[in-house]
Amino acid sequence: MVEEELVFQPEEVKRMEYLHAALSEALRLYPSVPVDHKVVEDEVFREGKGAKVIYAMYAMGRMESIWGEECREYKPERFHGGPRLCLGKDFAYYQMKFAAASILHRYRVDVVEGHPAAPKMALTMYMKYGLKVRLTKRNKSKL
């Protein structure tokens, strides 16, 4: 028996607003690049043009002064539409939503209990011990 493949159309993926918010909230708490730097282009610091500024997105995503008292809680509802900062951002979100929706449509995803889930800071952030999950195929008759 050949299983019919579900293919989301681009317009369907674009309308997945809550999934977009969920991915944004996950990236706020666990950014793929936890620390970055920029070179100052204007004379805004005493060091002048060309000075390097290092910033920690991982820490900024947990700052109570920015995100409020519930800054460590996962709440996708806090994200709404906003300016696009990266030319590839829309395409990256499209790919993430397409992949996540395809997996979630076919499977229930549960984190394996007892497996340590700890992020590891490096040039890019990843799970120190991996992330063990259990996939349970969804019953197509209930969809």
CA angle 7, 26, 15 (to 5 degrees): 35
Lowest mean pLDDT among 1-15, 75-89, 96-110, 119-133: 75-89
In this structure, are residues 97 and 19 in contact, taking their beta carbons and an 8 Å threshold?
A: yes
pLDDT tens, position by position, 59-89: 989 989 888 899 999 998 888 655 535 556 7
Residue 22: CATH number of its domain: 1.10.630.10
107 occurs within a structural domain: yes
Helix (H) or strand (E) holding 100: helix 89-106
DSSP letter string, 39-78: E--SS-STT-TT-EEEEEHHHHTT-HHHH-TTTTS--GGG
- pTM of this structure: 0.59
58 occurs within a structural domain: yes
Number of domains the chain contains:
1
4 occurs within a structural domain: no
Whether the pLDDT of residue 25 is over 70: the answer is: yes
33 occurs within a structural domain: yes
Look at residue 136 in the predicted model and tell me its pLDDT: 94
Confidence of residue 135 (pLDDT cuts 50, 70, 90): very high
How far apart (Å, rounded) are the C-alpha atoms in residues 45 and 132? 46
